[in-house]
Structure 1
Amino acid sequence: MDKQPDVVVIGGGPAGSTAATILAQHGHSVTLLEREKFPRFHIGESFMPDTYWILRRLGMVEKMKTSDFVQKYSVQFVNASGQESQPFYFFENNPHECSQTWQVLRSEFDEILLRNSESFGVDVREETRVLDVLFDGDRQTGVRIRNKDGTDETLTPKVVVDASGQSSVIAHRLKLRQTDPKLQKASVWSYFKGAKREPGKFDVGATLVLQLKDKKGWFWYIPQHNDVVSVGVVAEKTDLFRDDSSAEEIFWREVENCPAIKQRIEGSERVDVYRTTKDYTYRSTRCAGDGWVLVGDAFGFLDPIYSTGLQLAFRSGSMAADAISEAIKANDFSAAQLGKWGPDFVTGMDRIRKLVYAFYEGFNFGAFVRKYPHHKRHITDLLIGDFFKDAIDEVWEPLADVIRSEAEKREMATA
């Protein structure tokens, strides 16, 4: 029989490529199975600065520095009345080069990351379908695949890493997915060439979060290279898709509901189709079982508001890879060993979840900074992706206080 890989990774996106590369760096044999041929379209274009440390571990920082991707130094919020918050400049927290990150075109970035995995010795197989993950009870026993040439094959690795994104092969099979009743959102977006950008080196690549004037949703505004901007609206699914309007009609209806967006894209040219997604907030009840692990969107996805998707993909992929490497060396492929990283990861994910909830409850960033200027560093920590440390937890009571104050003001205004 042909020698079997130590690990099979399903999916070549950021979580899968990260796990595969780190496992190869540890000296393990890895086969990565990708259904599509790269490059391919994917949403999720904005990095958080804390991804720097994993990019450096992957050997990707110099590749990013020499790329065409737009440099990102900050994030800024625009409220329903058009008032702009002070920019949250990441370098104010840490004057290290890690405080500058990037806005990427995922088709280009994901291919660079996948080729980087190959350079470390990962056996990358594109246009390869996973037909089934085989189980004996809860224990993974193999993966049935159909190769690019149409031949079927069964791989029997020690561990399977499911990085298959929202299709989440294992989570669906084992019925592990749970939705978040507080976050039943949907999105409609497209891409525009020639839209307005903020002036100045530190603002031109900023992510903008712009609230609708009826406060029922928000727009993202993400500058990319080649003079293109990603523009999308997020709101309650039942509100966005309240009638049989087309994606284009929904998008422009909400543009009229956000003058700050309308002003920015006026005179620009749309250069892509209108795209939609919904029912994207969920989390699996566990991250691992005997011989298998879930990472990235296959484990869960939160919300696009703070651009956490890539950070959580990188982080879960790296944490899982280290636990798998320990498992191989100890010959222990139990759920306890393979999932030992899960509690710390979920704690960090739940911290940013609290900030997501706060935004939809009416949290005002400007009001918070004015009332609690000494806590701005904690908010900035959350916005840069550094939410895996306990010190952040002291921000929650002040944050709740500002939400209560803003709610009282709204009640008085309508009384």
Structure 2
Amino acid sequence: MREDRHVVVAGGGPAGATTAGLLARQGFDVVLLERERFPRYHIGESLLPSLLPVLDILGVRETVERHGFVRKSGAFYGWGGQEWALGFDGPEREAQYSFQVIRSEFDQLLLDHARRLGADVREATRVRRIALEGGRAVSAAWLDEDGRGGSIGFTHLVDATGRAGVLGARQLGMRRVHDVFRNVAVWGYWRDATVLPQAPESSIGVFSLPDHGWLWAIPLHDGTLSVGLVTDKRSFQQARDTLGSIDAVYEEALGRCPLLGRILHGARQDSVLKTESDYSYTAEAFCGPGWYLAGDAACFLDPLLSTGVHLAMHSGLLSAAAITAVLRGEVEAEAARAFYQTAYRNAYERLLILVGAFYRIHDGRDAYFRQAQQLSHRDQRPLRLHESFLNIITGAEDFHDARSLSPEHLYAKLRDPVAGRTGQGLGGHGTSHMLPLPITPDHAAAGHYLTLSPYPTLRPA
């Protein structure tokens, strides 16, 4: 069975649902193929305020608000011997809160909304392979849970298949794992936990450990607290060899964090532990002829700054705008890809550098703030010291840059030798070793910016 559509979106998580919904809303013929049946479990529960304008553009914000997710008003850090909090509120902030979500429920809301907007959503349908002709992606072979299969031709493919990476990782072999972030995450869910009185209401708590690693605490609307441990693989394996089990490693780590101990005093663990490892990676390119990689299919950083869903929905918005501009004849395909590659990689690499700075745990809060100021486009004079940091960790900086600036300037700045020396990465190394690609002619020629009215598309800078 052969079909032809404007766009095939592979994967129904936040990246895929955002892309499909935005394109379908404009009347394009979009089919979304999702391997699982929703709802399905997923980690990545603490969201950034940057998702609010995207929810507005999709027209799904009221649905998300009504669902009853915990409203996240900020973050609390017990980090490197310091305790400090940041609230998202402020008179000039476009988005002053976010949500702590059960991802199975949040992702279902987005996927169902994409279907209501007109996307042909097919669950339990796996993309087997993408056909390439002359280096261009042209069709997707699929297989459903009943053994039926077929092929769909398209003008554009969005690979939003997450860590599976159907096109970018599996077929093109473009994925590279970051050696400096070879970490392990172990997490579970607790009931009857308390709150830290000094933390913003319903905030995420992030706590460094004295030697290796850190812990998170995220309150959810079903009454549980998501509590996770992140540490490097070598330290994790040594601890497991010594203590005898993953559960023992987790419990020992919790016992070394007095701040988290206050939250969990009298609480009880309500789930078996889950683990993930080697989850920090990037593709060598985020797009090519006929295809875009979005969300985790393109890159994943680290859970430290809760950036996963932000990058997913941000890339969904960018890819939808780029494809719209091409399908409407407003921008040439090569120029649209150049914009996407540059804007998405800017967002990813800025966060990569800031997370790298954070892992130098004892540098202190003000050092992280100064690093953030170096990574910001905005005029620093009227800003308080923490403002650039807050703009980046809420995702506001990425949204601002895509809408108002030609992004190649930041791309060059990230590779400036001075920035490389001042923004050192893990283990005291310069940041340049973490930035995967040199500047190419395509990046220098990006020359477009994102506009949201009357629909998400690209305009010349």
Q: Common fold, TM-score beyond 0.5? A: yes
**Following the alignment from structure 1 to structure 2, what is the Cα–Cα distance between the partners of residues 368 and 348?**
17
**Following the alignment from structure 1 to structure 2, what is the Cα–Cα distance between the partners of residues 280 and 348?**
18
Greater displacement, 390-399 / 140-149: 390-399
Matches within 5 A, 1:153-164: 153-164=150-161
- The Cα of 1:305 is off from its aligned counterpart by 0.6
2:87 match: 89
Matches within 5 A, 1:329-344: 329-330=328-329, 334=333, 336-344=335-343
**Following the alignment from structure 2 to structure 1, what is the Cα–Cα distance between the partners of residues 185 and 161?**
21
Q: Which runs of 5+ in 1 are unaligned?
A: 408-415
- Look up the equivalent residue of 2:389 and give its one-letter code: I
Distance change in 2, residues 1:146/1:293 (3 Å): same
Query: Which residue of 211, 232, 239 corresponds with 1:236?
Result: 232
SS at match of 2:339: coil
2:364 is the alignment partner of 1:354? no
1:164-187 Cα shifts (integer Å, max 9, x gaps): 001101112111112222222111
Query: Which residue of 164, 167, 172 corresponds with 1:167?
Result: 164
2:308 match: 309
2:403 is the alignment partner of 1:377? no
**Following the alignment from structure 1 to structure 2, what is the Cα–Cα distance between the partners of residues 26 and 290?**
22
Greater displacement, 230-239 / 107-116: 230-239
Greater displacement, 34-43 / 54-63: 54-63
2:110 match: 113
Contact 1:289–1:334 at 8 Å: present in 2 too?
A: no
1:227 match: 223
2:5 is the alignment partner of 1:44? no
- Look up the equivalent residue of 2:89 and give its one-letter code: F
**Following the alignment from structure 2 to structure 1, what is the Cα–Cα distance between the partners of residues 288 and 332?**
8
- The Cα of 1:198 is off from its aligned counterpart by 3.4
1:183-220 Cα shifts (integer Å, max 9, x gaps): 221111111111112349x8231011101022x21101
**Following the alignment from structure 1 to structure 2, what is the Cα–Cα distance between the partners of residues 339 and 25?**
24
**Following the alignment from structure 2 to structure 1, what is the Cα–Cα distance between the partners of residues 392 and 320?**
24
**Following the alignment from structure 1 to structure 2, what is the Cα–Cα distance between the partners of residues 364 and 60?**
39
Matches within 5 A, 1:393-408: none
- The Cα of 1:304 is off from its aligned counterpart by 0.7
Distance change in 2, residues 1:19/1:355 (3 Å): same
Distance change in 2, residues 1:134/1:366 (3 Å): same
2:445 match: none
- The Cα of 1:346 is off from its aligned counterpart by 1.0
Greater displacement, 323-332 / 349-358: 323-332
**Following the alignment from structure 2 to structure 1, what is the Cα–Cα distance between the partners of residues 140 and 300?**
25
Distance change in 2, residues 1:325/1:377 (3 Å): same
Q: Which runs of 5+ in 2 are unaligned?
A: 374-382, 429-461
SS at match of 1:28: coil
1:136-158 Cα shifts (integer Å, max 9, x gaps): 24211211111233211111111
2:69 match: 69
Distance change in 2, residues 1:280/1:2 (3 Å): closer
Query: Which residue of 392, 396, 401 corresponds with 1:386?
Result: 396
- Look up the equivalent residue of 2:264 and give its one-letter code: I
Contact 1:293–1:339 at 8 Å: present in 2 too?
A: no
1:323 match: 322
Matches within 5 A, 1:20-39: 20-39=20-39
**Following the alignment from structure 1 to structure 2, what is the Cα–Cα distance between the partners of residues 183 and 28?**
39
2:190 match: 192
Q: Which structure's relative contact order is higher, taking Cα pairs within 8 Å and 6+ residues apart?
A: 1
Report sequence identity in percent: 32
**Following the alignment from structure 1 to structure 2, what is the Cα–Cα distance between the partners of residues 281 and 402?**
19
Contact 2:196–2:262 at 8 Å: present in 1 too?
A: no
- Look up the equivalent residue of 2:47 and give its one-letter code: F
TM-score (normalised: structure 1): 0.88
2:365 is the alignment partner of 1:365? yes
Question: What RMSD, in angstroms, separates the aligned Cα atoms of the two structures?
Answer: 3.0
Contact 2:76–2:204 at 8 Å: present in 1 too?
A: yes
- The Cα of 1:50 is off from its aligned counterpart by 1.6
**Following the alignment from structure 2 to structure 1, what is the Cα–Cα distance between the partners of residues 44 and 204?**
12
2:54 match: 54
